[in-house]
Structure formats: structure tokens, C-alpha cells
Amino acid sequence: MQSSAKQADGRRSAVRGKLAEALGGDEVASSLASNIEAGLFRELAPGPRYQRQVRDLLFNMRGEAGAGFREAIRSGGLPIRTLASLHTEDIAPAEKKAQRAQVRQQAMEARETDWELRREETPMNRTFTCGKCGGNRTWYFQFQTRACDEPMEFFVMCRECHHGWRHNNVSPDDIFRQVWSA
């Protein structure tokens, strides 16, 4: 029982040392590291959540990218008591936050493009003629369904009768059938 307590104290001491090193390695950093580790231990208890939060904090404190985060902790701009509950996205450097925001923006724009298509605001290409109703208000997308040495397949959908089919240059067929609600 005592050996596990000693191991836990040894791990906590190692965490304090790594935090102090990441914060600058001076007396202020050592004091901050002790307070941060104690807060993490109190809030998260030893276990996976504690280890994950320590790892996230250390990762985002190190290097040039972590300078802003380190300075916020050292100056008191970021209260120590909040470090246990900070999400990974809140800890991330400004450059990483901007990169994530750009990915989210691109995803939202892609979703908006799909929204226009579902609302029939996208111009139809009229390339294919529907075998069911004879209309040519169709739209399509291409998808590689087989090996890369075979042609891509067109999945065509009719806007008039909501009929869908698969088409490729080798063997056009009517295997892909999709009827969606009007």
C-alpha cells in the first residue's frame, strides 16, 4: 500500500518538475507548477483524466507556439483553478485555433453547398435523361466504387421523379435506385 503511495508521489513530483520546466524553470515557475499540479490532482484525481490534462497542458506550454499560453499562466491572466477544466481547444495556441476555425468554416461552406442542392437552387446540368420519366432535370456526382484502373461511376438523380441510377461508360445500368421524399 505504501509503495503505491510512493509511486503516486513520485509521479506527482515528476509532473511538477515537467510543468516547472515548461513554465521557464525558475522559482516562480516551480511555485506555479506546484499550485497547478495540486489543483489538477484535487479536481481530477489520479487517473486518465488527470494524465490527459497534464499532457495537454505540457504540450501546449512548450515551444514557440506555447509562449502566449505560458505567459498567460505566469502573469495570472489565466487563473490556475481553471486549468483543470480547460478543454484542449481553449489551451491551443492562436495559430492552431485559427487553423481549426478555417477547417470549421470550410465544413460549413460545404454544408451550405449541399443545402442549396437539396433546395433545388443549384442549376441542373441536363446531361442525363431519366429512364423512368424521360425528364432531363438531373444532377450527378462521381464516385470511385471499384479499383483505380476502372472508370469512375456517375450516380445520377432526377429532380422530376426522384429516381436515381448508376451510370458508367462501360455498362450503364439501373442498379442504383433511390427514391427520396419530395
Read off the CATH number of the domain in which 179 is found: 2.20.25.10
40 lies in the same domain as 100: no
DSSP string, 5-50: HHHHHHHHHHHHHHHHHHHTSSHHHHHHHHHHHHHHHHHH-SSHHH
Alpha helices in 24-140 (DSSP H): 27-44, 48-61, 67-75, 88-91, 94-118
Torsion of CA 106, 108, 112, 114, to 10 degrees: 80
Euclidean distance between CA atoms 31 and 119, whole angstroms: 60
Per-residue confidence band for 175, with pLDDT thresholds at 50, 70 and 90: very low
pTM: 0.55
Work out the average pLDDT over 119-127: 61
Length of the chain: 182
Domain that holds residue 142: 123-182
38 lies in the same domain as 103: no
107 lies in the same domain as 150: no
55 lies in the same domain as 82: yes
42 lies in the same domain as 107: no
- Crossing angle of helices 48-61 and 2-23, in 10° steps, is 20
Task: Please give the pLDDT value at position 178.
Answer: 46
pLDDT above 70: residue 169: no
Report residue 76 CA to chain centroid gap: 30
Residue 96 has φ and ψ, to the nearest 5°, of -70, -40
pLDDT above 60: residue 113: no
Smallest Cα–Cα separation from 168: which of 128, 132, 131, 138?
128
86 lies in the same domain as 153: no
Work out the average pLDDT over 77-81: 84
13 lies in the same domain as 81: yes
156 lies in the same domain as 170: yes
Average pLDDT over all residues of the chain: 78
- CB-count burial class (<10 Å; 0-12, 13-18, 19+) for 77: exposed
Higher pLDDT, 101 or 11: 101
76 lies in the same domain as 107: no
Per-residue pLDDT tens for 35-52? 888 888 888 877 888 888
Task: Please give the pLDDT value at position 179.
Answer: 46
146 lies in the same domain as 98: no
pLDDT above 70: residue 85: yes
Per-residue pLDDT tens for 3-17? 666 766 778 888 889
Number of domains in the chain: 3
Work out the average pLDDT over 159-167: 80
157 lies in the same domain as 182: yes
**C-alpha cell at position 175:** 442498379
Per-residue confidence band for 101, with pLDDT thresholds at 50, 70 and 90: very high
Task: Please give the pLDDT value at position 23.
Answer: 86
Q: Determine which of 78-92, 117-131, 135-149, 158-172 has the lowest per-residue pLDDT on average.
A: 117-131
- CB-count burial class (<10 Å; 0-12, 13-18, 19+) for 104: exposed
Report residue 140 CA to chain centroid gap: 29
